[in-house]
Amino acid sequence: MAHDHVHESHPKIVKRLKRAEGHLRRVIEMFEEGRSCLDLAQQLHAVEKAVGEAKKTLIHDHVDHCLDTAVNGRGKSTVAVVDEFKAISKYL
């Protein structure tokens, strides 16, 4: 992993994703135990929400970081930053 792409929020995102990973493993066990569809749907929704929040945090942090870099005249050109913003925003 390139160090210039490590943001302050990344360790928190990894922690959140590891928690979601454990939760997903538990949901798989619930399927194997024959739990009710309602229980399964609720738990899958929770996993989906956790992953979605991690993604949103990553994208928002990235945009903040890139815009700050562009405004302060460091790093990529403004055109490159705008192009990257357009590309990453489709994942919101």
Q: How far is Cα 13 from Cα 34, in angstroms, rounded to an integer? A: 31
Question: What single-letter amino acid sits at 37?
Answer: C
pTM above 0.85, yes or no: no
Domains of the chain: 9-89 (1.20.58.1000)
Where does the chain have alpha helices with state H?
10-33, 37-71, 78-89
In 10 A of CB 53, how many CB atoms? 14
What pLDDT, in 10s, does the model give residues 12-41?
999 999 999 999 999 999 999 999 999 999
d(CA 90, CA 36): 35
Query: Residue 78 contacts by C-beta under 8 Å, 6 or more apart in sequence?
Result: 70
1, pLDDT greater than 50: no
